A and B are shown apart, each in its own frame.
Chain A
Amino acid sequence: MFFFPNQKTPILFQGITSAMGRYQTELALSYGTNLVAGVSQEITGKLGSIPLYSSVAKAMRAKKVQVSVVFSTPQKALSDVLEAIKAKIPLIICTTEHVPMHDSLKMKLAADQAGVTLLGPSSAGILNVGHAVAGTIPTHLFSAGSIAIVGRSSSLMFEAVQQLSEAGLGVSQCVSLGADHLIGASFIPVIECLYADTATKAILVIGQVHGTLEQELASFYQKNHPKKMFVYIPGKTLARSDKHPLLGMKSVLFSDVIQEKKTLFKKANACWIDSPDEIGKQILKEYKRKKK
């Protein structure tokens, strides 16, 4: 099951002694994240105040870990994620980019079978603003507020955060699903949690041309929409085509795919954002309208 880690959630870093692992350890601790353990094959003992273990199973025995963040090379990502799945860690975040597609699929299938949630590969993780960060999301950009952001493209999500800040709006939760073709968790479990999250009043979704996750989300939202949803998908002016996943080998234009997704979201009563420089403005406008 998906959930938002808070300052009490015990978190494990796999690959903690890599350059990225060390860097993120400092940032996470200074944000008040409850980082309780690290897994490292290279170093034993401690990294600062964090105890190191040689395997996930050992870390799990010593600390009741709820979330694992994986900072591995593409070569090691599969075995590290499978290790976390085997230890039944309920929420696993794989931040590695360039993971082979077959490896991603194996991770996803194993996670589904074990009943744990996998975010990514290539996910920037989760930021519960003001409480905890699990992943590589730059916390310095965020101020606390009531908009939640869920998306595929991390740079674009950060752009949206800045626009919201400029509009005087803050963020409650930020979740990156990962931009890869094959990823673990989809939008729906995250959105369900956001519905239950009292800090969140509205949700911004940054989608992707490829795949059908947005269609699934639109039909989910149509049935169940207690909170306002804003959607932006980049790529509509690109003169390119994509292999349509439902039509086998036929290719369709990006603009047609995005138009199809737009129609579905509009039908579901979500608020469509047409231009990437209007994200902040459009959400602010809707907010003011609501207050009147």
Chain B
Amino acid sequence: MELHEYYVKEIFKTAGLPVLLGGVAYTPEEAKNIACQMTSGPFWVKPQVLLGYTPDKKRNLLLEKRLAENSEEVLALTEQILGMHVKGFPADVPATIQRVYIEQAVQKKALCRFVFRVDFDRQTYTLTIVSDKGENTFFLTELKLTSAIKKEILKCMKINDRHIGRLLESVLEKAYRLFIHYGAVAVELNPIVQNDKTLVVVDGRLVFDPDSLFRFPEIVKRQEIKWGHEREALAKKNAFRYTKMCGNIACLVNGIGFGWATIDLIHQKGGQVACLLDVGTEPTANAITKAMKLALAEPNVDGILVNIFGGLTSCKTVAEGALAASPEIATGIPVVVRMAGLDSTEGVRLLTRSISPFIVMNKISDATSEIVKQVKGVL
């Protein structure tokens, strides 16, 4: 989970990291005011957008930061950017830029640049630092950066200037503390540049662990939906997970590994999966209904495969959830259901007892073949 850059910069600032002066603007006038309050240009005008995915491979100039020499240029640029519709997203994505972040720009010719990143290995925290002298990775298990490690880092980075060394140490320590404090997945400072006699963090990312957000209600409040992730957000609200793919078969499963195995089978049989809906180990009937409806509402879905293996999941609950969504199943959309394990006899009985739109299968191989066959018939 990520936040807008201006929120991240705010968090960085509170943590004592050296960031550039800046402010967020919703109108061109606000942008100009922010620029006027800073001593002098140049400024960066940065569109604030959370991208779920990049619509095309080409660089989208509209989304990149731009340089403005003075406050008048800031005004003109912001006028251009705000309210612009970014092309390449589906129609249901509100792809309009609504905020810009105005920031004091630093000179292009920086004396030295570092990229710093902390994240995870399977057993340790991993700290990577990159500079023109090369890349170094350190593995840590401590909750603090000890002075021994800090010395080691400076040695590896071949930093001889003691003043810069001390500043860098302090930046790294603060970033690491931030990482531990938020239980973050990653903190990235990219780059840290030397601006005169000081160090400045120009850009940075703070990636939150969605599972640790219960500890940070103030972050949850600031969470926003990424462009192109509207379905993911809706899914999360209803306690299931949605993953977009590019085919035409929606796949509803319990468990991600099980889901991937199901997808492998569909692909091996010549089908293409449109999306994976993972309802987890103990879904409610409501989550199943909502997942079915989400799949049915997707324009490129031509068929649905429900594959459930009941360990803790009751197939009866799944059947009830699926039945509740059945009025929305349009003719011509085949829904193949395969259920096994806990309460499967009961579940199958529910789905087959009356006129129902479901094709019930017994085995994973038959069910995947059937949905591929059915969908090919549609085309």
Q: Which of B209, B280, B342 contacts A100 (CB 8 A)?
A: B209
Q: Which of A99, A100, A234 contacts B260 (CB 8 A)?
A: A234
In contact, A74 and B120 (Cβ under 8 angstroms):
no
B165 CB–A CB distance under 8 Å: no
Q: Which of A109, A138, A232 contacts B141 (CB 8 A)?
A: A109
A248 CB–B CB distance under 8 Å: yes
In contact, B211 and A136 (Cβ under 8 angstroms):
no
Q: Which of A30-38, A53-61, A204-212 contacts B (4 or more CB under 8 A)?
A: A204-212
Please give the number of chain A residues whose Cβ is less than 8 angstroms from any Cβ of chain B in the complex. Answer: 49
In contact, A238 and B257 (Cβ under 8 angstroms):
no
In contact, A156 and B364 (Cβ under 8 angstroms):
no
With A100-B183, A155-B254, A249-B128 as given contacts, are A238 and B122 in contact (CB-CB < 8 Å)?
no
In contact, B255 and A154 (Cβ under 8 angstroms):
yes
With A138-B342, A159-B364 as given contacts, are A248 and B211 in contact (CB-CB < 8 Å)?
no
Nearest chain B CB to A288 CB, angstrom units = 20
Q: Roughly how many angstroms separate A209 CA and B263 CA in the complex, as a whole number?
A: 14
B135 CB–A CB distance under 8 Å: yes
Q: Roughly how many angstroms separate A162 CA and B342 CA in the complex, as a whole number?
A: 12
With A102-B183, A238-B263 as given contacts, are A156 and B123 in contact (CB-CB < 8 Å)?
no
In contact, B311 and A155 (Cβ under 8 angstroms):
yes
Within residues 105 to 151 of chain A, which ones have a CB less than 8 A from any CB in chain B? 105, 108-109, 124, 136-138, 140-141, 151
Q: Which B residue's beta carbon lies closest to that of A141? A: B341
In contact, A182 and B122 (Cβ under 8 angstroms):
yes
Q: Roughly how many angstroms separate A245 CA and B263 CA in the complex, as a whole number?
A: 24
Please give the number of chain B residues whose Cβ is less than 8 angstroms from any Cβ of chain A in the complex. Answer: 49
B340 CB–A CB distance under 8 Å: yes
Nearest chain B CB to A251 CB, angstrom units = 13
A275 CB–B CB distance under 8 Å: yes
Q: Roughly how many angstroms separate A179 CA and B341 CA in the complex, as a whole number?
A: 20
Within residues 40 to 99 of chain A, which ones have a CB less than 8 A from any CB in chain B? 74-75, 97-99
Chain B interface main SS type: mixed
Q: Determine the chain A residues whose CB is within 8 A of the CB of B312 once the complex forms.
A: 136, 138
With A100-B183, A101-B212 as given contacts, are A234 and B311 in contact (CB-CB < 8 Å)?
no
Q: Roughly how many angstroms separate A100 CA and B365 CA in the complex, as a whole number?
A: 36
In contact, A124 and B122 (Cβ under 8 angstroms):
no
Q: Which of A103, A159, A211 contacts B340 (CB 8 A)?
A: A159
Q: Which of A102, A179, A239 contacts B256 (CB 8 A)?
A: A179
In contact, B263 and A98 (Cβ under 8 angstroms):
no
Within residues 151 to 206 of chain A, which ones have a CB less than 8 A from any CB in chain B? 151-156, 158-159, 162, 179, 181-182, 206
18 A–B pairs (Cβ distance < 8 Å), ordered by A: A100-B211, A100-B212, A124-B311, A136-B281, A136-B312, A152-B257, A154-B255, A154-B257, A155-B254, A156-B255, A156-B261, A162-B340, A182-B120, A182-B122, A209-B260, A232-B261, A235-B263, A238-B245
Inter-chain pairs besides A156-B255, A239-B246, 17 sampled, C-beta below 8 Å: A100-B209, A101-B183, A101-B209, A101-B212, A102-B183, A105-B123, A136-B281, A137-B311, A138-B312, A154-B255, A155-B255, A155-B281, A158-B311, A182-B123, A212-B122, A235-B264, A277-B364
Closest 10 CB pairs of A and B: A153-B257, A155-B255, A100-B212, A155-B258, A237-B267, A277-B365, A276-B261, A234-B260, A102-B183, A234-B261
